[in-house]
Amino acid sequence: MPKWKIVTEFTFDSAHYIKDYNGPCSRMHGHTYTVRIEAISTKLHSSEYCPHPVMVADFRSLRWAKKDVTKGGLDHCILNEVMPPEYETTSEMIAKYIYDETKKKLPEDVKIKVAVSETANSWAEYEDD
């Protein structure tokens, strides 16, 4: 059975704080977040930008979070004000939020994995089997 995998990586800049954290992360501060999304499918699809079934997922759809917050993304926002309260603004929960929102934009059979980094040497990954 054929299988395709695509990968995209992008950044966005946002501020956040972690409530009730015992340390400096409890204060508002910013990061340039790096996001890596892997998408896998056994069939190809069309997208809102291309009517032909020639892609796993459209890279533009996968990179929605890099858009400015006023255009539905996460760039240049305060994450605590944009993300729903059930998502704390740790890298782990940001990865889950991006995963959950990205899955809504994709065909059901496309499996994804989302990794988020707020520093050059620390990553959190989220996927759901």
Domain that holds residue 11: 4-124
Q: How many CB atoms lie within 10 A of CB 49?
A: 10
The string of DSSP codes covering 16-64 is E--TT-SSGGGS-EEEEEEEEEEEEESS-B--SS--SS-BSS-HHHHTG
Establish if 15 belongs to a structural domain.
Answer: yes
Assess if residue 129 is contained within a domain.
no
pLDDT digit of tens for each residue in the chain (129 aa)?
899 999 999 999 999 999 999 999 999 999 999 999 999 999 999 998 999 999 999 999 999 999 999 999 999 999 999 999 999 999 999 999 999 999 999 999 999 999 999 999 999 999 997
3-state helix, strand, coil in the chain (%, to 5): 25, 35, 40
pLDDT at 26: 97
> In this structure, what CATH number is given to the domain that contains residue 119?
3.30.479.10
Query: How many domains, the chain?
Result: 1
Answer yes or no: is 98 within a domain.
yes
* Per-residue pLDDT at 1: 85
**Residue 46 lies inside a defined structural domain of this protein:** yes
The predicted pLDDT at position 76 comes to 98
